[in-house]
Amino acid sequence: MVKQGPRHAGQALFHEVFGTAPHVGASAPGRVNLLGEHTDYNGGPVLPIALDRRTVVHVRPAHGFRFASTLEPGVVERRLAEEPRGHWTDYLVGVLRELAAVGVELPGADLTVASNVPAGAGLSSSAALTVSAATALASLAGKRLAPETLVEVAWRAETLYAGVRCGRMDQTISVFGRAGKALEFDSATGSRRMVPFTGTLRMIDSGLRHALVAGEYEHRRIECEEALRRCRKLMPDLNALADIPVAALPKIARHLPGTLARRVRHVVTETARVHEAVSVLGRGRKTRFGELLYAGHESLRRDFESSCDEADTIVALARKAGATGARLTGGGWGGVVIILAPERSADTVVARVQNDFAEEYGRIPQAWEGKASGGVKVER
Ligand code: GLA
């Protein structure tokens, strides 16, 4: 984490490593998903905000590609033709390859990364990196990508090269985020709608980190694909799991193996929760919104089984301490729990959760604040 702010840290690093000022830079935010987890690859809606935590990429022209980051010493040289290495620079190689695919070709670039988006915490540090890098590199090539193309370049870099079969939520909010707004994004149609979301959100880090590439995330995707195949036997016209009506769940429970039926129930009820959340947020009904967050967490815990003990504990403690709502956000199996509480009591709620958690786990979990902020921008 960078104390002085990632923009200055990035500029300082650029000077230190490459001995000159960068030509241009761009920054893009991490995100918190308020609701709609594991729906973006099942044809459902999501409701993220862009965070006031950003990744800043600075660049200058070069022959060949050299990358440096505030998070690790040294300079990494990469060639675009080479295989992924399971290193963070894979995201950059992926971006450069996808930029070339849309006609933005560069002979080389010196590039630095600075960020205050915690990595692996479910706050989408990877989309903050791919979106800011794609923007800075396109700008270096004298091009400006349409926002939809930028989302696609960033998503393809992550999916095709870095090897995570993610949905498009993270890249979309990192591009389209706005201050004071959440974004309702429909993964089936690509439609976007801004929903008011003001005030400060609290986050408590479970301290557990999960690498999405290898593990459970891909496993859940495969389960959802299998569930869709089986549901189509009951409903031949079905496009995606999110299209199943809530009323059809009992029938699905009768015909599908228990685990798959629970995965479907999560996607279907989560889709309904997002729709309701959008409507209650529009009317300022914060109490109901908070209940939907608790229900969303319960669904992740019980039906999708993408939570972890630490996150379940934080959610339970938050409820006990008087939070309006709480749930694990992001890919799952660790990362950050978001907490909603009235502003006057939020500090007390967070402190109580931290204390009670420390009694159980012997360590004080980190806490952050965040608010809905703007999306990607070029930094001069
Ligand atoms: C990760 C993925 C997203 C989404 C979430 C779960 O963040 O990158 O596309 O699937 O997990 O909601």
The string of DSSP letters for 95-132 reads: HHHHHHHTT---SEEEEEEEE-SPTTSSS-HHHHHHHH
User: Going along the chain, which residue ranges are E strands?
Assistant: 24-35, 45-61, 64-69, 72-78, 108-115, 181-186, 192-196, 201-205, 325-328, 336-340, 367-370, 377-379
Question: Phi, psi (5° rounding) for residue 35?
Answer: -165, 155
Per-residue pLDDT tens, the chain, 380 aa: give them: 445 799 999 999 999 999 999 999 999 999 999 999 999 999 999 999 999 999 999 999 999 999 999 999 999 999 999 999 999 999 999 999 999 999 999 999 999 999 999 988 999 999 999 999 999 999 999 999 999 999 999 999 999 998 889 999 999 999 999 999 999 999 999 999 999 999 899 999 999 987 654 589 999 999 999 999 999 999 999 999 999 999 999 999 999 999 999 999 999 999 999 999 999 999 999 999 999 999 999 999 999 999 999 999 999 999 999 999 999 999 999 999 999 999 999 999 999 999 999 999 999 999 999 999 999 999 97
C-beta of 301 in contact with ligand 1 (< 6 A): no
- 351, 221 in Cβ contact below 8 A? no
Distances (CA, A) of 55 to 92, 129, 151, 218, 291: 13, 6, 16, 26, 32
C-beta of 330 in contact with ligand 1 (< 6 A): yes
C-beta of 169 in contact with ligand 1 (< 6 A): yes
Rounded distance between C-alpha atoms, residue 270 and residue 240, angstroms: 14
Q: Ligand 1 mean position to 180 CA, how many Å?
A: 22
Rounded distance between C-alpha atoms, residue 351 and residue 196, angstroms: 27
Q: Ligand 1 mean position to 275 CA, how many Å?
A: 18
**Could you tell me the pTM of the whole model?**
0.97
User: Which is the closest atom of ligand 1 to the Cα of 331?
Assistant: 11
The answer to whether the Cα torsion of 297, 303, 305, 309 is positive or negative is positive
C-beta of 331 in contact with ligand 1 (< 6 A): yes
Mutate to test the pocket of ligand 1, among 217, 263, 300 (most ligand atoms within 8 A of CB): 217
347 has catalytic annotation: no
Tokens 């989309």: give the residue.
127
Q: Per the structure block, which two tokens stand in for 322?
A: 């008087």
**The pLDDT value given to residue 162:** 83
Tokens 């390859």: give the residue.
97
**The pLDDT value given to residue 214:** 55
- 49, 197 in Cβ contact below 8 A? yes
